[in-house]
Structure 1
């Protein structure tokens, strides 16, 4: 008994789906999730709190890092870049999702 081409294709497709579903269970019941690393930082030694400026690089002024400090909501203002400020302002003004959220809050 021979199968027609559409029946053969459907049979191949179903076989492929079954094989995929069965192989998804390949981890097995004895899988144990590895423990999280016991470290408090990404580096072995603590990083320098101040970085020296790069000579001849625009905007390469000295930077200071305060570990554990909160980041301001308007974090981009820390760069003191009028171009970046203007881009962020434009993006916030023209964002349809923010407008919809604002309208939903006013309606509530």
Structure 2
């Protein structure tokens, strides 16, 4: 019985932690009441990585940083996707990166 009570208590606690994604505070000023609400923005969903050919705009068979910028998750991971550190992402490097997305 005790493990169930503990589990229910932890579930309730998890819900209250999740509910704290935003906070609100009210201040009294000379001009009147001011309420400040803050929170984390929603994470963007970009979908599956596009085909390599769709990003390789100049057809050279490698992606530079400007081409990678067309898909923000790749631009964010550029230095990690560029395994040999040559400043470009080859098709093989891209496919390896995309497999982990």
Q: TM-score, normalised by structure 1?
A: 0.20
Which of structures 1 and 2 has the larger relative contact order (alpha carbons within 8 angstroms, sep 6+)?
Answer: 2
Higher radius of gyration, 1 or 2:
1
